Amino acid sequence: MKKSLLAAISPCPNDTYIFGAWVLGMAGDLSEMRTRFVWEDVQTLNEMAESGGADIIKVSAVQALKLDNYEMLSCGGAFGLGDGPKLVARPGLNGTPEKIGVPGTLTTAYALLGAAADFDFESVPMFFHEIPDAISNGLVDAGLLIHETALVYEEMGFEMILDLGQWWKVRSDDSPLPLGVIIMRKSLGRDLFIE
């Protein structure tokens, strides 16, 4: 009898690439498994993992460290080499931001911001792709950008307040910044993908 799996990933380009062959049925033995894929934002994936809602799931690195019923796989992680989340605002922000749009409170980006910020702020959780509009429309004073939005913040007209990739680089002696990892439910057993 074929195993049936639920795999939950984000729609970001690296997840699409990592899982592409499997999703398209071109991954050899993996294609023989009945696998249903769902695509969600990073905060929703972190919440799914917390409740045990998927067999294989991409989560924030900081979230993976908290989960006892999953184990990290040795492939498919996302790491920054001097790059990482960026705290940005509209030009001309006076002082420090009081309200910051964040891509969820279970994310590595949020944990980094909490460690790096030397000021108090109110977190406003939202989907990562909604943060730029929230900044532009004045719903928040600043935003914590991840994924592709962190790469093009200047084109969107924002100024950087804090580069968390550089903050990590300085404090970690230039170690890679673990951003996201793929985890698998321990109950599936280590031999699921290895025969």
- Could you list the active site residues? 147
Exposure letters 115-140 (e unless 16+ CB within 10 A, then b): ebbeeebebbebebeebbebbeeeeb
Task: Please answer whether residues 107 and 133 qualify as being in contact, where contact means their C-beta atoms are separated by less than 8 angstroms.
Answer: no
Q: CA–CA separation, 41 vs 184, rounded Å?
A: 18
* Residue 98 CA neighbour count, 13 Å, CB half: 3
